[in-house]
Structures are given as structure tokens and as C-alpha cells.
Structure 1
Amino acid sequence: MIDKSNLETAHRLRSEISAIFAYAIVHNLTDYDPAQPVAKQIPAQKVKHRAAIIDPKQVGQLLRDIGNYQGAFVVQMALRLSPLLFQRPGEIRQMLWADVDLGAKEWRPYVSKTDFWHIVPLSRQAVEILESIRPLTGHGVYVFPSSRGDLRPMSDNTIRTALITLGYNSTIQTAHGFRTVASTLLNEQGWTPDAIERQLAHAPRDQVRAAYNRAQYLEERRCMMQAWSDYLDSLRSGAAVIPFKTIVK
């Protein structure tokens, strides 16, 4: 029986165990993830409000502040990557090198919340960040390992603490809030809502459909993710706020 007062811990531990077995499967050390079936046995957590800045000019200031962060290099890179990819914070901090293909410009994580493998196209800026950290952590399992050792991922409080250090507490901007920032602005700019939903890894409950939909809108999403990164660069530089959708219908 699972203690409902510790659902967050239960979900986090199951996700971390699954990430370890995912690495083992890739390296032919096992062919089964015993933590995966447990996902359906853990009750869902109640949805929480996650604060997010959605005004483009304020987003630009947030990005400039992130660029000036003076903490550990691994934390700097995770902080910079978060708004570019806008995946769940737990997935970013537990990113495995085995799931990253810089040549194909793709990250293919297992998303425990929706129980399926996701395809995240990597923009030029995202690839540059990953290439910059690879000499430091590429020998290990995790892209963003814990400061206490390479065998565990970065703490779930690390990005939150970094944002607080920069002056953004949980009432202003959260790590999870980067998803809201992207969803809001991408929708305002006219990108296909279904493509945005796929990019956010909001998958259908039906697993057959989920397996099919993971690659749905992939070409549009590749274009969208590059345009999104370019747009964030323009906001960071203080450029005029202009639409950034350039895909051809």
C-alpha cells in the first residue's frame, strides 16, 4: 500500500529507478525495467499551480539573469537548457547520455508520467549546450549528475534553488513554469496546438496511440523548436517582440 502523503517521493524514486534500468537496457545489461509496471500502481499527484512569467519582455530579463548565473557549471547548463526544451524538470535533471543523439539532434527520454518514450528535437542552441557539458559529464550516466557523485542525477531542488538565487521564487517563476511559458507563447504565435501538446509530452492515455503519436508532428516540431530557441535569443538580446513562426503550411 502506498502512503498517499508521499506520492511525490514515490513518483521520483520510481522514475530514478526506471532511468537506471533504461541505461542498463541500452547497454544490453538487462531487457526488463521492473519499475515501469509500478507506475500504474502509484496514484496521480494533485495538479499544483506553477508560477510562470509569460510577458515576452520579462521573459527576456529572466533569460538574461539565467545567463548571468554564477553557480556550478552543470547547474548553469541545466538552467539554460530548461526554457529551450520545456520538458518536465524531473526529466531534464535525469537526462541520460544514452538517450541523447547529438548527430540526429534528438533526445529520446522515457516519460514516466505518461509511460512512453518521447522524441524531443534539439535546436542548434540546445546542441551547443550539450556539447559544452559533454567533456565534463559525458563519461557518466547522467548529463546533469549530482554534485555528490556521478551515479545519481542532480537534486530536484537544484534548479529551484538557482532560480531563487536569481530572485525568482516559487510565486514568480518555477522550473516547471518554463512549460507554461513555452505553451502560452507558442500558442499565441500560432503554432499547431497538437504539435505543442506533443512537444509537451501530453500523450493520449491509450498506449497504442501514444506509441504512434510520439513521432506525430515531428517535422513541424523540429522547425518549432529551432524557431523557439531563436526567439528566446532575440528576447534575451532585448530585440523587439515579433512573431517567430516561419513554417510553411
Structure 2
Amino acid sequence: MRPNIAPTATQISRRASRGVWQYAVATARAPRDITSDIKKALKPHIKENHPAITDPVELGELLRASMAYRGGPVMRVALRMAAILFQRPGNLRTMRWEDVDMDKGLWAIPSEDMKRTKVQKINGQAHTVPLPRQAVAFLKALEPLTGGGEYVFPGLRDRKAPMSEAGVNAALHAMGYKGRHCWHGYRATGRTILRQVLKYPTDVIEAQLAHKGQITHGGAYDRATHIEERGEMLQTWADYLDKLAAGADVIEFKRA
């Protein structure tokens, strides 16, 4: 007799169950969505925070470990750029040379590559990321190695494809940061220290994180980019990271 290996109701998330039943109703496979009837029996979706280092001293240690990482120059630059720019991993690992202007110190992420709704992707402008001097220097050092291809950070096995997020997290694990910090965690690192230690305005930080994008009454993507403020902020941030990496005295983060 074949064993019953179907998951129980408590093993299925509420969100997944609702999606299944809504699809069933839409395709005439079920008369209605029954998830409201069994709501209490369904396991709620619990969002977990990505592990991230938010202490300046520990961040300095991470930066030094990244510089000493033996996995190759492309990975070392990726790790440093993640700390400086704190963009979404999917955007950074697919960074294209054609979107980078090193003379102007700007990286324009196409709207269709951003985490936006379909309408926002169509109507939105590119998310422009200022590149501080340190980021430009890293890119110039990497250009002879990867500049002949499409991606700034190509994959190790397939140079025509971007590096994988798993590869960067594997590097962090090899450096001893498994469970302590991940690639996505650089976003929390930048946001926390810039606000709590360097005292930058929340709206400027959120603009750098590309969290501010709402649809305006005119139907266009919000154009309040704070580009000048972000350029100044990121240069200060990159200089601060250099001090942390050098082991300089820093203002420690005061925990609540």
C-alpha cells in the first residue's frame, strides 16, 4: 500500500494554501476558496529577517575578511561593492558594464530590473546609484578581467551568466559568517549604521535602498531620487568603511 505522504494542513502555509484554492476557483476546478473555513488550522507565514552585522567593529572585521578572501578578485570586489552600495543582491550580481558610467560615477539600474510592480517597471525611471571613488576604483581594477563581457560579476563556470547569490553566500560561510551575515544583510548593515551612527536622514537612506517607489497621481514612478544627497552620503559611507577596515577608532553602535 502506498504511504500517505501528503502534508498536513498545519504544514502548509496560509499564503500557499490560499494561492492554490484561488487558482482552483479561477480555473473552475473548485466552486470556492475554502481557506477562510480552515484559517485557524493553517500555519501562518512568518517572515524572518536576514542575518546581518550592524555593529561597526564587527563590520570592520568582515571587511578585512573580505579583502583577505582567497576566492578570487571578482568575488572580493563583489563583497566590497555589496558593503558600499547595499543594493539588492539580484541587482548587484547582474550589474552590467553598459549600465555603468565610471566617468560620471553612476550606475543606472534599468526599471525592468527593479523590484517593482508591472506598472512601475513600465512607467518607472532607472534607479540611479551614485558610485563613490572607492567603488569606481574597484570597477576599474575589475574591468581588465570582466570588461569584455556583459556582466561586471560573471559566473565562475559560465562567463556569459552572472554570478549566483548562492556563490556569494558560500563565500561568506567560508569566511565564518554562516548564520551571522548574508549577502542581503548588507542592506540592513548600511541602513542601520547610516541612521544610528552617521545620523543620515531616513528618506535619503530609503531612496538608496529603492524603498520609496510609489505611483504618483500622474501615474509615473516617484522621481524624488535624492541623488545629490545620496552621492554625498555614499562617499562618506565608503570613507567610513575604509576606516573600519583599517581598524580605526569608530563610534560603536549603542544597542537598545
Task: Say which SS state the counterpart of residue 146 (structure 1) adopts.
Answer: coil
Partner of 2:186: 178
Given the alignment of the two structures, is residue 149 of structure 1 paired with residue 150 of structure 2, yes or no?
no
1:76 aligns with 2:109: no
- Structure 1 residues 123-148: Cα deviation after superposition (integer angstroms, max 9, x where no partner): 10000110011011111110011112
In the superposition, the TM-score normalised over structure 1's length comes to 0.75
* 1:113 equivalent in structure 2: 115
Deviations 1:90-134 (A, max 9, x none): 111100111100001000112431234201000100001100110
1:198 and 2:207 are equivalent in the alignment? yes
Q: CA deviation at 1:47?
A: 4.6
* Match of residue 41 from structure 1: none
For the residues of structure 2 that align with 1:78 and 1:202, how far apart are their CA atoms?
22
Work out whether residues 56 and 250 of structure 2, in 8 Å CA contact, stay in contact via their aligned partners in 1.
yes
Aligned-partner residue type, residue 78 of structure 2:
A
The CA deviation at 1:150 is 2.4
Structure 2 counterpart of 1:230: 239
Stretches of structure 2 that go unaligned for 5 or more consecutive residues are 1-15, 18-44
Residue 102 (structure 2) pairs with residue 94 (structure 1): no
- 1:172 to partner: Cα distance: 0.3
Larger mean CA deviation between 111-120 and 143-152 belongs to 111-120
SS of 1:108 mapped into structure 2: strand
SS of residue in 1 equivalent to 2:177: coil
SS in 1 for 2:159: strand
2:165–2:183 contact (8 Å) kept in structure 1: no
Give, as a single letter, the amino acid of the residue that structure 1 aligns with 2:60.
Answer: G
For the residues of structure 1 that align with 2:177 and 2:166, how far apart are their CA atoms? 14
1:205 Cα shift? 2.9
- Measure how far apart 1:204 and its partner are: 2.5
Question: Using the alignment, how far apart are the partners of 1:205 and 1:163 within structure 2?
Answer: 34
Cα distance in structure 2, aligned partners of 1:149 and 1:56: 36
| Contact 1:105–1:127, Cα closer than 8 Å, also in 2 | yes
1:156 Cα offset (Å): 2.0
Pair 1:46–1:211, CA change in 2 (3 A): farther
Moved over 3 A (4+): 45-48
Deviation of 1:242 (Å): 4.1
Uncovered stretches (5+) of structure 1, i.e. residues with no partner: 6-44, 244-249
C-alpha separation in 2, matches of 1:219 and 1:112: 21
Aligned-residue offset at 1:210: 2.7
Tell which deviates more after alignment, 200-209 or 145-154: 200-209
Do the aligned residues in 2 keep the contact of 1:203 with 1:210 (CA within 8 Å)? Answer: no
Q: CA deviation at 1:77?
A: 1.1
Query: Relative to 1, partners in 2 of residues 1:194 and 1:234: Cα closer, same or farther, differing over 3 Å?
Result: same
Structure 1 residue 79: Cα displacement: 1.1
Secondary structure of the corresponding residue to residue 190 of structure 1: coil
Q: Where does 1:1-249 land on structure 2 (aligned, <5 Å)?
A: 47-110=47-110, 111-114=113-116, 115=121, 116=124, 117-169=126-178, 171-188=179-196, 189-206=198-215, 208=219, 210-213=221-224, 216-242=225-251
Structure 1 residue identity aligned to 2:213: P
Q: 1:179 to 1:221 in 2, by over 3 A?
A: same
Amino acid at match of 1:138: G
Give the AA of the match of 1:238. G
